[in-house]
A and B are shown apart, each in its own frame.
Chain A
Amino acid sequence: MARITLAKGLNAGLRAAMEADPKVLIMGEDVGKLGGVFRITDGLQKDFGEDRVIDTPLAESGILGAAVGLAMRGYRPVCEIQFDGFVYPAYDQIVSQVAKIHFRSQGKVRMPIVVRIPFGGGIGAVEHHSESPEAQFAHTPGLKVVACSNPVDGHWMIQQAIACDDPVVFLEPKRQYHADKAELEEGGDLSEAAPLFASRVVRQGSDVTLLAYGPMVKTCLQSAEAAAGEGRSIEVIDLRSLSPLDMEPVFASVRKTGHALVAHEAHVNLGMGSEVAARITEECFYSLEAPVLRVGGFDTPYPPSRIEEEWLPGLDRVLDAVDRTMSY
C-alpha cells in the first residue's frame, strides 16, 4: 500500500503505460526536464529518453497535428495541454482531424491519442488557467471524454485511456493534483481496474441523487456529509466518463430517490448537466418528484481569481440546490 496524490497516481500510471508499450509517447510543452508545470511527467524523460518524452515547440495545434501523423505511423501519443484555456489553438486538429479520421477512413486509420487537460479552477490563477471545456469535446462525435476525481482513478484511468484505440480527452482536476492522498494497492492489475467508461456510486443515499465528475466529486461528497447532519440522505455518483455517458447507475439511483441534481464547474448553459438532465427526464419521467436541477458556473467568462470561489459552485450552492429540489 502506498499513499499517493493525484499527481503521483497519474505519473505512475504514465510510467506503467510507457513500460507496457514502447509505442506510447508523451508530447507537450515543458514535459521533459521540467516534468510538466504540474510535474505530472516528472522523471519520465530521464528514464525513457527524449524520443519518447518530447518537449515540443510552443504550439498546441502543432502538438495535436503531429500526434495525428505519429498515430498514423503506429504510435500512441499522449499529448499534454498545459492548461485548459490553451486547448483552443488545437481545437481544429482535435475536432476536425483526431475525432473524424477513423470515420473518414471507414475504419482504416485509428487515432489512439490521449489529450490530457488539467481543468477547472480554484487555484488562484490568471485568465485562461481555470476553465472547464469538457462539453465542447463531449459534443464531438469520435472523441471519448473522461474525468478523474481521485488519485487511484487517475492512476488506472490514464492507463486505460492510453490503451484505448479511440481518441480520449482526459480531464484532470488540477486543484486536486497535490491536495489529497489516497491508498493505492501495490501490484494491482490494469485488467482488474473498474471499466474506464463507467460511472460509479461513491456514496449511498436515498433522498437526492447528486451527480458530479472531476473536481466537483469532492465538493459533492462534502455536501452530502453536511446534509447528513441535517437528516438528508444524499447519493453521490461520480460520472467519470462524459462521453459516452454511463447512465444506467444514474437511472437506478433516480428511480430510487426521485430527485436529481447535476453539479459541475463549467457554465450551466449547454453544459454536461443539460445532457444528463435531458436523459434522466427521458428515462425516469414518472419517478421524478422534481425537475432535474443544474448547479454550475455562471454563463460568464471565468472571473478574476479573487472572486472565483463565489463563481464556482461550492458546498453551499450545492446544498441550496438540494433544498430547492427537496422543497419543490
Chain B
Amino acid sequence: MPGNPTTDESEELQVSDTPGTSSAGQIGPDLVEAFGPSQADGGPELVQLLSPEGERVEHPDFRLDLDDEDTAIKGFYRDMVLTRRVDTEATALQRHGELGIWAQLLGQEAAQIGSGRALLPQDFVFPTYREHGVAWCRDVDPLRLLGLFRGVDQGGWDPNDGNFGLYTIVIGAQTLHAVGYAMGMQRDGIVGTGDADRDGAVVAYFGDGASSQGDVNESFIFASVFNAPVVFFCQNNQWAISEPIERQSRIPLYQRALGFGFPGVRVDGNDVLACYAVTQAALRRAREGSGPTFVEAYTYRMGAHTTTDDPTRYRLSSDLEHWKLKDPIARVKAYLTRNGIGDDDFFAGIEDEAEQLGEHLREGCKALPEPSPLSIFDQVYVDQTPELAAQKEGFAAYLDSFETSGAGVH
C-alpha cells in the first residue's frame, strides 16, 4: 500500500497489545479512514452560522456577537461585494495588459471579510499576496494593491498606517514575522492586561499549501512555546496552484494544531458570520494572553491561482459548480432579502458603489506613477553605502549621456 505506513503490511511498525492501538498490529487509528482526506463539505466539525441557503443556524460553541446585527451583516455584504469587484476589476486590468499578473480571491470573500472585520485597530495583520479583502477591512485603498502587480512598486502602503503588513510572496515566511511581532506585543505589555482598548493580537494569514512549509511549522512552535498572541488564519481553498489538499495533508489541517499545543477550529470559510465569530473568539483569546489558535477556513478558490494559471488542466468543472452553490455572497443576499433586512435600494446602492470603485481602479491604475530608474538605489539601506551612492552617480551619468546626445530614451 504505497503511501500508507500504518497498514498491516508494514511489518516493522507492527505492535501488538499496545495501549492506544485500535486493532492488533496497527498503531493508532486509520487516519485517512477517520478524517478524510476528501471531505467535500468540510465534515461535521465545520462551524457554520449561515447555511449556503441563507438560513441562520446556531452553533453550541460560537455565537454571533454583534452590536447591531442587521447593520453589521449589511456591512459584511457590502464589504464582500466591493471586494469581489476589486478582484474582478483587477483581473480585467490584467487581461487588458495593465497588470502583469493578479492573484484572484474569488470565493474567499467571506473568509477574508469575516476575519478582517473581527480585528480591532490595535491588532496587526500579516497577509499573503491574496488578502485583498482583509486589506479592504484595514482601509488600504485597493488601488495601492495594484502597484505590486503592475510592477511599479513592491507594496504601496505603510504597514504601520492600518497595521497591515506588506504582501509576502515567499510562501509562509510571514507567519514567523507574525509570531515575532506578537512576541514584541508581549514585551510591550499590551497582552492580557484586561484593557480591551489596549490589548492586541496578530493574525497570520496563509493557505493550505503553506501549511507544508517549514517556516509555518516553526511559527506554530514559536507561538506555542512563547504563548504568543497570534491567530493562524489558514484559508484552505483546496488548491495550491495545481496540487490538491491531499498532497499537503492526510488529516484536516486544523487538527494539526493540537500536536503543536494549541486549539484548532474548522470554520465554513464561505460563511462570513461564522468566520467573524470564530476569528473574534480566537482574537479575544490571544489578546487576553491565552495564546495562539489555528483557524482553518474551509473554502474554495473559485478562480485560478493567478491570471497566468489554467485550472482546467487539473480540476473538474463539476467541482466549481458544486462550490458555486455555496457562494459566500449569495447566501448573505438570500438572508438579507428573506428577512427583509436589505431592500432593493440597499442592493442597488451597493451596485452603484461597486461601479464607482471599478472606475476608481481603472483610472487610478493607469495613473500610478512609474518608478524612476534612479530611485532603486535610495531605499536599499537606511544609511546608503558609499559604493551604492557611487553606482547611482555612475548610472545617472550614463542616463544623462543619452539625454545630451538625444539618442536614447529612459
Contact of B173 among A74, A96, A105 (CB under 8 A): A96
Q: Is the CB of B382 within 8 A of A69?
A: no
A-facing residues in B154-201 (Cβ within 8 Å): 154-155, 158-160, 165-166, 170, 173, 175-188
Q: Is the CB of A59 within 8 A of B222?
A: yes
Instruction: Give the CA-CA distance A274 to B18 in the complex, in Å.
Output: 62
Query: B11 in the interface, Cβ–Cβ < 8 Å?
Result: no
Q: Is the CB of A72 within 8 A of B382?
A: no
Instruction: Give the CA-CA distance A64 to B379 in the complex, in Å.
Output: 21
Query: B378 in the interface, Cβ–Cβ < 8 Å?
Result: yes
B-facing residues in A99-139 (Cβ within 8 Å): 101-110
Contact of A108 among B159, B177, B183, B222 (CB under 8 A): B159
Chain B: interface secondary structure? helix
Known contacts A61-B218, A102-B380; A73 and B385 CB within 8 A of each other: no
Q: Tell me which of A62, A64, A69, A93 has the highest count of chain B C-beta atoms within 10 A of its own C-beta.
A: A69
- Interface bits A84-102 vs B (CB < 8 Å: 1, else 0): 0000010011001100011
Write out the residue numbers on chain B whose beta carbons fall within 8 Å of the beta carbon of A101. Answer: 166
Write out the residue numbers on chain A whose beta carbons fall within 8 Å of the beta carbon of B188. Answer: 73
Query: A166 in the interface, Cβ–Cβ < 8 Å?
Result: yes
Instruction: Give the CA-CA distance A105 to B158 in the complex, in Å.
Output: 7
Instruction: Give the CA-CA distance A197 to B385 in the complex, in Å.
Output: 9
Q: Is the CB of B222 within 8 A of A62?
A: yes
Write out the residue numbers on chain B whose beta carbons fall within 8 Å of the beta carbon of A66. Answer: 176-177, 179-180, 183, 222
Query: A165 in the interface, Cβ–Cβ < 8 Å?
Result: yes
Query: B381 in the interface, Cβ–Cβ < 8 Å?
Result: yes
Query: B325 in the interface, Cβ–Cβ < 8 Å?
Result: no
Min distance, Cβ A253 to any Cβ of chain B, angstroms: 18
Query: B383 in the interface, Cβ–Cβ < 8 Å?
Result: yes
Write out the residue numbers on chain B whose beta carbons fall within 8 Å of the beta carbon of A43. Answer: none
Query: B214 in the interface, Cβ–Cβ < 8 Å?
Result: yes
Write out the residue numbers on chain B whose beta carbons fall within 8 Å of the beta carbon of A105. Answer: 154-155, 158-159, 166, 379
4 nearest A-B pairs in the assembled complex, by CB-CB distance: A69-B180, A65-B176, A73-B184, A66-B180
Q: A65-B177, A142-B381 are in contact. List 18 more A-B contacts (CB 8 A).
A: A51-B186, A56-B222, A59-B222, A62-B215, A62-B222, A67-B180, A69-B202, A72-B181, A73-B187, A75-B184, A77-B180, A92-B215, A93-B215, A96-B173, A102-B380, A104-B155, A105-B158, A166-B381
Q: Which residues of A contact B (CB under 8 A)?
A: 25, 51, 56-57, 59, 61-62, 64-75, 77, 89, 92-93, 96-97, 101-110, 141-142, 144, 164-166, 197, 243-245
